[in-house]
Amino acid sequence: MRQFLASFLEVIEVVVVAFGAVFLIRSFLVQPFLVSGSSMIPNFSDGDYLLVDEVTYRFRQPERGEVIVFRYPKYESAPQYFIKRIVGLSGERIKLKGGRVTVFNKEHPDGLALDEKYLPGGTNTAGEGEFQIPDGSYFVLGDNRAYSFDSRNWGVLKAGEIVGLVQFRLWPPSSLQVFAAPSY
């Protein structure tokens, strides 16, 4: 009986440690995310299972081109989570015109038209307008520009709404991938 009790307590200890480790990892390091919708097609599809890195942005600022998961800034009751790509950084001005995204900043006072190689050829960014991005905020767009509800609709995203950086696609297995920010 004593041996059974010792074995039982050992199993309980392993289970408690395992659950504790999973809780700590999921709460502070990595969070799973299931893509729902078509706003990021063709790069992310409905049903893709992703891992979101919650640590990176504690050590550095988000960069242009990175794909992030965030809490929808206008949620009313229960938070909704979105996935979008950062195209505008704090302090920049974004101009949407003629299907193109142009960024104005200190390095490019006359504007830099983004060469968005991650989008299919011929993709146009719908809508026109200019957006000044305040400090601590970002301008985000979905890759499926014709069908994305993003900063063009609800404005800039505050840094505090960002959950984390999309790092890995785990599902479907045929699309297993590690992501890096594109260069412009």
Catalytic, 158? Answer no
Q: What is the 3-state secondary structure (H, E, C) of the chain?
A: CHHHHHHHHHHHHHHHHHHHHHHHHHHHCEEEEECCCCCCCCCCCCCCEEEEECCHHHCCCCCCCCEEEEECCCCCCCCCEEEEEEEECCCCEEEEECCEEEEECCCCCCCEECCCCCCCCCCCCCCCEEEECCCCEEEEECCCHHHCCCHHHHCCEEHHHEEEEEEEEEECHHHCEECCCCCC
**39, 137, 148, 151: the active-site residue:** 39
**84, 137, 148, 151: the active-site residue:** 84
Catalytic, 39? Answer yes
Catalytic residues: 39, 84
